[in-house]
């Protein structure tokens, strides 16, 4: 009898999606046990879930808030603590105000009469959607009718420009759903009318938010714990190992080329879960994809995020946990997250983005942000600054330019032809949070487990419905089934 050799699974990227996928495959206790390797380009795990550490201080680079029910919070409860108050404010018109599109704000500032144009907007954009009139941009966001009037009144146009590098007229309506869905649900005309007539305030309790404890070195520690858990289960994690090329191979299905310093090494894999950026995956797998596919991938891009980090000699900035969004067009930054630390200081993370191919010297940027926060917002004084740093977070935001949905959809179809799953925030080109990233990891792992147990089966990829965009019919099922035994026989 031929001895079955272990199936090799290559996971590209050691962010949460990749690590959860690795853990989930291990937890399935397959026999023979698959060999799982994670290839991560950075020297630490976590991807977008990382911390910057300097002089015993740590700042969460991007992700920072979770809910009690979050998978990661349940997995490592000892690493988290509650946020007592989490205030969201907006800087515009020279002052701090409540976040627009929150019900309380709307009820305070809107008269019943102003609902009429809102309802007309809503009707108009829904008609556009029903009639399938052209591609829906952010102004024609039909589901929650966040139209031009609403966007500009709230000052959100400027915020969207900072986030994506394009004005809302060139951005897909999908951004509205992914980015603003939770904000705008409160401003649906039906709900507003009901509440205005009832003169009720919104008393619904928000779920309790939690953050990573600073003494455990922030969210980076959570990624570290997850990586340790995977290693303990037998997963090999290669750090400082960017994937440079993926190709088909004779012995196994794939060969993954990794750069270690100056050296290129090839590793075999039967299945791949990729969490690296979708466009970079296609670039790395050039030999497996058509020219058309490569050209489409070039249309996709991400915004990098830069951070200005401060430790301030003040116990708090008006609230123990404060988030300020800047809708001001003179500010380069778009969001600030401040958090009181146990030693009586406050850590501040200020995010800024620049359209691709713009270079702004870091020192100059740091100076201008410090000026905004000290002179204009008056959050602290120059001599309160104990420490400052800058950091870069590459590929933080997928850019939702008009037409991107079709490009992503076509690429996913190409990828679907392969024994390869592209998952996670960068892999799916979607604005997802950590609960979704965890979910992507679990779903990708389950697919691989299914392939290993029952043989590789191509099935029609479910299409997501994108509001305002006419979707082509799902392809009919392709049921080319390749038996697991056959794969082994061919080895």
Q: Return residues touching ligand FAD (CB under 6 A).
A: 12-18, 39-42, 47-49, 62-66, 242-243, 275-276, 280, 305, 351, 396, 424-426, 432-434, 437
Cβ-contact 4, 489 below 8 angstroms? no
C-beta of residue 206 within 8 angstroms of C-beta of residue 172:
no
DSSP state of 319: B
Do 425 and 48 form a contact (C-beta atoms < 8 A)?
yes
CB of 395 to ligand FAD, least distance (A): 6
Q: Which is nearer to ligand FAD, 402 or 444 (CB)?
A: 444
- By C-beta, is 145 or 440 nearer to ligand FAD? 440
> For the chain, what's the residue count?
491
Q: How far is the CB of 275 from ligand FAD (least distance, A)?
A: 4
Closer to ligand FAD by CB, 90 or 323: give it: 323
Which is closer to ligand FAD, CB of 16 or CB of 445? Answer: 16
Residue 223 beta carbon to ligand FAD: minimum distance, rounded to whole angstroms: 8
Instruction: Provide, rounded to whole angstroms, the least separation between the CB of residue 14 and ligand FAD.
Output: 5
* Angle, vertex CA 396, rays to CA 390 and CA 399, nearest 5: 130
DSSP line for 74-90: HH-GGGEEE-S--EEEE
Q: Closest approach of Cβ 184 to ligand FAD, in Å?
A: 19
Residues 6 or more apart whose Cβ sits within 8 Å of residue 456: 419, 481, 482, 484, 487
Query: What is the C-alpha separation between 437 and 431, in angstroms, rounded?
Result: 10
Least distance in Å: CB of 368 to ligand FAD? 20
Of residues 118 and 434, the one with the C-beta less far from ligand FAD: 434
Summary count for the chain: helices (H), strands (E): 17, 22
Smallest distance from ligand FAD to CB 36, Å: 15
CB of 234 to ligand FAD, least distance (A): 20
Q: Which is nearer to ligand FAD, 7 or 16 (CB)?
A: 16
DSSP, residue by residue, 12-59? E--BHHHHHHHHHHHHT--SSPPEEEEE-SSSSSBTTS-EEEETTEEE
Separation CA 106–CA 196 (nearest Å): 10
Rounded to 5 degrees, φ, ψ at 123 are -60, -45
Measured CA angle at 49 (ends 392, 386), to 5 deg: 55
Task: Compute φ and ψ for 404, nearest 5 degrees.
Answer: -65, -30
The span from the CA of 10 to the CA of 249, in Å, is 14
Judged by beta carbon, residue 222 or residue 377, the one nearer ligand FAD is 222
* Smallest distance from ligand FAD to CB 385, Å: 22
Question: Residues with Cβ < 8 Å from 11, sequence gap 6 or more?
Answer: 18, 21, 22, 36, 37, 38, 39, 272, 273, 274, 275
- Toward ligand FAD, which CB reaches closer, 125 or 326? 326
CB of 431 to ligand FAD, least distance (A): 8
Find how far residue 173's CA is from the centre of its chain. Answer: 17
Q: Which is nearer to ligand FAD, 17 or 407 (CB)?
A: 17
Nearer to ligand FAD, 345 or 434 (CB): 434
């Amino acid at each position: 009898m031929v001895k079955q050799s272990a199936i090799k699974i290559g996971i590209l990227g050691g962010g949460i999606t990749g690590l959860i996928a690795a853990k989930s495959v291990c937890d399935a206790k397959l026999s023979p046990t698959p060999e799982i390797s994670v290839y991560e380009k950075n020297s630490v795990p976590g991807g977008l879930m990382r911390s910057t550490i300097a002089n015993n201080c740590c700042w969460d680079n991007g992700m920072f808030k979770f809910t009690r029910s979050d998978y990661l919070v349940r997995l490592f409860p000892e690493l988290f603590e509650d946020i007592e108050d989490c205030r969201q404010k907006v800087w515009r018109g020279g002052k701090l105000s409540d976040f627009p599109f929150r019900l309380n704000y709307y009820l305070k500032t809107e008269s019943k009469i102003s609902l009429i144009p809102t309802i007309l907007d809503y009707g108009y954009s829904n008609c556009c959607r029903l009639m399938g009139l052209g591609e829906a941009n952010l102004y024609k966001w039909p589901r929650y009718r966040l139209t031009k009037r609403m966007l500009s009144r709230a000052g959100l146009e400027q915020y969207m420009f900072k986030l994506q590098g394009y004005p809302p007229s060139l951005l897909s309506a999908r951004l509205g759903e992914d980015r603003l869905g939770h904000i705008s649900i409160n401003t649906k005309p039906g709900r507003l009318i009901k509440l205005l007539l009832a003169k009720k305030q919104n008393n619904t309790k928000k779920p309790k938010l939690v953050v990573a404890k600073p003494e455990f070195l922030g969210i980076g520690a959570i990624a570290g714990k997850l990586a340790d858990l995977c290693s303990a289960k037998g997963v090999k994690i290669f750090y400082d190992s960017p994937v440079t090329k993926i190709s088909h191979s004779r012995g196994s299905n794939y060969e993954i080329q990794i750069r270690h310093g100056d050296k290129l090494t090839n590793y075999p894999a039967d299945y791949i879960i990729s969490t690296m950026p979708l466009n970079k995956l296609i670039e790395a797998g050039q030999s497996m994809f058509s020219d058309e596919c490569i050209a489409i991938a070039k249309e996709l891009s991400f915004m990098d995020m830069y951070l200005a980090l401060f430790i301030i000699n003040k116990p708090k900035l008006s609230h123990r946990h404060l988030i300020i969004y800047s809708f001001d067009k003179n500010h380069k930054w778009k969001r600030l997250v401040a958090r009181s630390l146990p030693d009586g200081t406050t850590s501040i993370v200020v995010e800024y983005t620049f359209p691709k191919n713009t270079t702004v010297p870091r020192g100059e940027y740091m100076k201008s942000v410090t000026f905004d926060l000290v002179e204009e917002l008056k959050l602290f004084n120059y001599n309160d600054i104990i420490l400052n740093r800058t950091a870069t977070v590459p590929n933080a935001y997928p850019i939702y330019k008009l037409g991107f949905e079709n490009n992503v959809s076509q690429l996913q179809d190409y990828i679907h032809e392969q024994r390869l799953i592209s998952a996670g925030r960068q892999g799916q080109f979607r604005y997802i949070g950590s609960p979704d990233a965890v979910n992507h990891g679990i779903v990708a792992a389950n697919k691989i487990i299914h392939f290993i147990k029952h043989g590789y089966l191509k099935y029609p990829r479910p299409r997501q419905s994108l509001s305002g965009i006419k979707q082509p019919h799902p392809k009919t099922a392709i049921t080319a089934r390749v038996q697991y035994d056959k794969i082994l026989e061919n080895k």
